[in-house]
Amino acid sequence: MDQLLKYRWPGNVRELKNMVERAVVLCRSDEIGVDNLTLSNLSTASESTEIDPLDSGSYRPMSLSDIERIHIQQTLDHNEWNKSRTATILGVERSTLDRKIKRYNIRRSDD
């Protein structure tokens, strides 16, 4: 609860809704913990001069398509390649997920 209260919610209610949905789907226990929360480390424009305590200094520039490809791969792996569940978590249709898998040439890690 502390993490939820401290977070600045740059995406407002939509971001909160998406975060809660992801936590519910991904949580493997009866209680959602801090590890289940996917809070962004990005600051809003008004706080750009503040130091983000969650930033580990591991930033490396990447294109949005690279970030999307990595996120899709990790979400698929986390869900043991259950595409329906992954599409729900990502907030896309299953057919969209299939197109992105093909576009990014994403393969199972164990293949």
35: containing domain: 1-41
Q: Are residues 67 and 102 in the same domain?
A: yes
Q: Are residues 35 and 77 in the same domain?
A: no
| pLDDT computed for residue 61 by the predictor | 85
Averaged pLDDT score across all residues of the chain: 77
| pLDDT computed for residue 76 by the predictor | 92
Residue 93 has pLDDT above 90, yes or no: yes
Q: Are residues 76 and 108 in the same domain?
A: yes
Residue 89 has pLDDT above 60, yes or no: yes
The rounded distance, in Å, linking the Cα atoms of 3 and 37 is 9
Q: 82-111: buried (b, 16+ CB within 10 Å) or exposed (e) per residue?
A: eeebbbbbbeeeeeebeebbeeeebeeeee
Banded pLDDT at 4 (limits 50, 70, 90): confident
Q: Look-up: residue for tokens 């520039």?
A: 61
Q: Which two tokens stand for residue 102?
A: 């093909």
Q: What tens digit of pLDDT does each residue of 16-65 get?
A: 788 788 878 777 778 877 777 766 554 444 444 444 444 556 677 888 88
Q: What pTM was estimated for this model as a whole?
A: 0.50
Amino acid identity for residue 64 in this structure: L
Contact between 58 and 69 (Cβ < 8 Å): no
Does some domain include residue 50?
A: no
| pLDDT computed for residue 45 by the predictor | 41
Contact between 47 and 8 (Cβ < 8 Å): yes
